[in-house]
Structure 1
Amino acid sequence: MAPSLDREGYWGRPTSTLDWCEENYVVSSYIAEFWNTVSNLIMILPPIYGAVQTFRDGLEFRYICSFLGLSAVGVGSWCFHMTLLYEMQLLDELPMIYSTCVFVYCLYECFKQENSISLFPIVLLIIFSVSVTLVYLQWKEPVFHQVRVCSMSCLSASFS
């Protein structure tokens, strides 16, 4: 956890289970981790542009969802690093789950021969997302985030 040097910013004391190595409220009293927050613009703006361009090009909806998922991760991460509140930590971490599930579905669809929507992987990924969300809401441990990242990597590898 980064030392706060007894600085309390606009959002109050951090309630998140994670606090990164950047000192809190050094640059602005409104942004807990200034550089972690600002660096998320790269996760917000280019994916929005990608979603718009994908829509204009008439590509499949799953690609638009992929770009918007990346942007949602950026917005959630922005909010989390700006506030260091647990609720915003969920807004950071849960979109990672959901967008990764969209990416896994996109990978699955790449290897199909017919042009149809497959309900089985969609249902499986929704069950996984709901289960992880419920665990997040009940168990406030940062180790879960680390284990979840590993499990999504394994799930992604099994579909490809």
Structure 2
Amino acid sequence: MAPAADREGYWGPTTSTLDWCEENYSVTWYIAEFWNTVSNLIMIIPPMFGAVQSVRDGLEKRYIASYLALTVVGMGSWCFHMTLKYEMQLLDELPMIYSCCIFVYCMFECFKIKNSVNYHLLFTLVLFSLIVTTVYLKVKEPIFHQVMYGMLVFTLVLRSIYIVTWVYPWLRGLGYTSLGIFLLGFLFWNIDNIFCESLRNFRKKVPPIIGITTQFHAWWHILTGLGSYLHILFSLYTRTLYLRYRPKVKFLFGIWPMILFEPLRKH
């Protein structure tokens, strides 16, 4: 993480408990961490289209909520990195917990009848979210948040491995791709934290276009945004298979993955 001696800009002094390795206000006076901010677009725009498509396809509301939750995370992260204010930090970090709880609910309800509600699991996840929120507001310790978030991600990983091992082995490609991209983003996140001083010194010696490629926290946003989006596709694919639909992964403009499906014809 970055030292606290960066320059100030439009939003004034930093009040967040975290300040990342990107040099503050080095691109524009209006955005504290420019690349860490704009990299959140991958978590904002595609999930919005996913939510719209889910409404059109008549999918269960929890998948619409998954897409929208990822969008909220992206918007919160945008506000946080743009301002480096504590209130905006909460708008980034707490939705990460809430969105992961929605993902967990979807993954554990993949094999239930359509539109069913698991009130016990729902209550447990809501209670977990409330406890994490209350404790985090009290202690203001980022490591606590990171551990709680990590627990949810680990739960998703175990559930995904179970599905691709014992239920739908042919989904290994999608499941492991989602996991691999997310873990690569986590690796970049750690590199950004551990080698911040070396990265800053390197950027001073190379052309800006090369220095941009070393903004590893921005890469964390891009890779985890894509990994989370693919996880939603994986969860949705699993669910629609169980409901006897014909899901297929298609690539919009040959680049961006999405799911198309149709109900099985009744004979």
Normalised by the size of structure 1, how large is the TM-score? Answer: 0.92
Partner amino acid, structure 2, of 1:24:
N
- Aligned residue in 2 for 1:110: 110
> How far, CA to CA, are the matches of 1:141 and 1:152 in structure 2?
18
User: Alpha carbon RMSD of aligned pairs, Å?
Assistant: 1.6
Aligned with 2:109: secondary structure?
A: helix
Which residue number corresponds to residue 148 of structure 1?
A: 148
Residue 157 of structure 1 and its aligned partner are, at CA, apart by 4.8
Partner of 2:42: 42
The separation in 2 between residues aligned to 1:88 and 1:158, in whole angstroms, is 31
Identify unmatched segments of 5+ residues in structure 1: none
Can you list the C-alpha shifts for 1:9-62, whole angstroms capped at 9, x where unaligned?
111111111111100001111100000100101110110010001101111111
Deviation at 1:4, TM superposition (A): 6.4
Deviations 1:57-104 (A, max 9, x none): 111111100000000000000000001111111000011011100000
Native 8 Å contact 1:4 1:23 kept in 2: no
Q: How many residues align?
A: 159
Paired AA for residue 15 in structure 1: T
Cα distance in 2 for residues equivalent to 1:133 and 1:90:
9
C-alpha distance in 1 between matches for 2:130 and 2:5: 39
- 3-state SS of 1:110 partner: coil
Instruction: Go from structure 1 to structure 2 and tell me whether the alpha carbon gap of 1:6 and 1:62 turns closer, same or farther (over 3 Å shift).
Output: closer
- Report the counterpart of residue 25 of structure 1 in structure 2: 25
Q: Report if aligned partners of 1:3, 1:24 keep a CA contact under 8 Å in 2.
A: no
Provide the rounded CA distance (Å) in 1 between the counterparts of 2:5 and 2:134. 35
Q: 1:118 to 1:35 in 2, by over 3 A?
A: same
Identity of aligned residues (%): 65
Is the 8 Å Cα contact of residues 4 and 24 (structure 1) preserved in structure 2? Answer: no
Displacement of 1:154: 3.5
1:156 Cα deviation (Å)? 3.1
Distance in 2 of aligned mates of 1:69 and 1:7: 33
Q: Aligned to 1:49, what secondary structure does the other structure show?
A: helix
In 1: Cα distance, 2:18 partner to 2:6 partner: 18
**Paired position in structure 2 for 1:77:** 77
Q: 1:150: Cα distance to partner?
A: 2.1
TM-score, normalization by structure 2? 0.57
- 4+ residue segments displaced more than 6 Å: none
Contact (CA 8 Å) 2:96, 2:149: kept in 1 or not?
no
Q: Specify the alignment match of 1:54 in structure 2.
A: 54
